Amino acid sequence: MLIRHSILRKLASLVLVTFSFHAKADDDIAAINSPCAEMRYLEEIGAIYEGQMQTLLSTATALNSELRQLTLAAARHAGTPKQDPYLLLMVLAKRRKAEADAKIKANSPRVLRLIKDIGRRRGAMEAQLTKNGKQQATYTSAANDPNTAAMATSFNTKCKITATLADDQVAPCAVEAEAAQKLKAAAQKVKTTGQLQLAAGSNLQKTVLSVSVQVKGNGGATQGVTGNQACGDNGTPDNGQGIAAPTLTSPPYAKIAVQVKNQGTCKAPSGDEAKQHLETKSLIYSVCDIQESDLTSPSTLADTTVDQVAADTDVQVAAMQIAGTDPSKSNQQQKTDIVKRLIGVNDGTIGEKIFKELKKLDKSLKISDSSTGITIDETAGETNFGKALAIFVSQSRKATETLGCKERQTADDDKKPDSADKTEENKEGDNKTNTNTTGSNSFVINKAPLLLAVLFLKLSL
């Protein structure tokens, strides 16, 4: 069977793209080639989860502000149809805020532990930058050393040189922009690959000690070293050897790929392992644990569309109760329509349709004698919220009591006979009906403000 040239070209292109992708991935990992690069790589890993936590905190703050605005708007319009959209949105805002708060509470310790372990690893890497071959060495002059045992019987003249090593200042880690992008990409791959790239612990624990030996004559410089001593004397006065002060060096940087999970689970280090300076088990566990966590942020109501609100089950249940509709007798479309009817809008976002209105100045809205008006958005702040809520609930109660007085007056007027010849039986019947109605209204009038206050406080906390 012949294969068309066009198909071959497509296959070749696919192979090239795949090869290019893997080559780029290898380049990202290859960029981790020094202590400085590893530190930047780990910082990028921490930045991923710090950023997610910061977004979560910002979202929780925004949802709290939205909930306060809705609470005040509902209190201001209590007892009127204008209250309905705010009550419905309070249901959704309250749930999302609780979701964000729960994630913050659960994941804050995880993020803090990760940052702590990254900082600890950074300290170990910084120590590598100065410890071997980078110290300032100060040597004393050769001095008589009568206390050291002779390495050979003919070594009767002994001297010693003392070297003092002082750590130099750590040179700033300079990571080029291109390398920084690769390290950032490598950090983002940790979750998908399940591997963490770290310097081999065996290399970090090693120090190479070099001793320079020079001989005169047949000093036998090739003789083996026992302990920290080497003897090259062959017993003749014409031969001998000189030993230079040692130098310290580190093995070249070498990384290994460490599996984040241990047999499919995150393994916590033991108490002793967590205390070891170069031990990586605590860091590996912190990375594994944070990857298993959910740091996604819920949407704010301002960014939520009306259609999304109308499709929410909890909002639909609340809408059914407000509308006095039996949910079992309504299909999904009817429930959605009722929510939209109560909210008063059919499309767009809640930010555009609802919160934009709450940012408008209302001169009739005052929370102090000197106030010339304020917005609901401004009253939702920490300073004004409690005072504004108390004022709005009080105003709602006064308005309801005024309405109650009018209704009682109407009921009393209804008790008066329409004509002089009205029968006692009719009067009695009228009175009974009016008394029951008045009693029912009395409960609503006297209890509604209290119920509203309790509802607002419960939803806004």
Q: Does domain 18-131+170-199+264-301 have CATH number 1.10.3470?
A: no
Q: Where is average pLDDT lowest: 181-190, 211-220, 257-266, 298-307?
A: 211-220
Structural domain spans, the chain: 18-131+170-199+264-301, 302-460
Give the whole-angstrom CA distance, residue 317 versus residue 92: 11
Model confidence at 182, pLDDT cuts 50, 70, 90, reads: very high
**Cα dist from 399 to 86, 371, 393, 410, 448, whole Å:** 19, 21, 10, 17, 11
Q: Is 0.85 topped by the overall pTM?
A: no
Which burial class, exposed, middle or buried, applies to 62 when counting CB atoms under 10 A from its CB (0-12, 13-18, 19+)? buried
pLDDT at 297: 96
Q: Using one digit for the tens of pLDDT, what is the confidence trace for 52-111?
A: 999 999 999 999 999 999 999 999 888 888 999 999 999 999 999 999 999 999 999 999
Q: Output DSSP code: residue 158.
A: -
Give the whole-angstrom CA distance, residue 36 versus residue 352: 48
CB 283 within 8 A of CB 129: no
pLDDT at 160: 77
| Pairing, β 208-210 against β 247-249 | antiparallel
pLDDT at position 129 over 70:
yes
Find the helix or strand (DSSP H, E) in which 137 lies: strand 136-139
CA-based Rg of the chain, rounded to a whole angstrom?
Answer: 40
DSSP bridge partners of 258: 196
Find the helix or strand (DSSP H, E) in which 332 lies: helix 332-343
Give the whole-angstrom CA distance, residue 19 versus residue 69: 54
pLDDT at 197: 96
pLDDT at position 319 over 80:
yes
pLDDT at position 172 over 50:
yes
**Nearest residue to 242 (alpha-carbon basis) of 155, 140, 135, 165:** 155
pLDDT at 373: 82
pLDDT at position 453 over 60:
no
3 state SS of 200? coil
Give the whole-angstrom CA distance, residue 335 versus residue 317: 8
pLDDT at 450: 44
What amino acid is encoded at 308 in this protein?
Answer: Q
Q: How many helices (H) and strands (E) does the chain have?
A: 16, 12
Average pLDDT over residues 158-185: 84
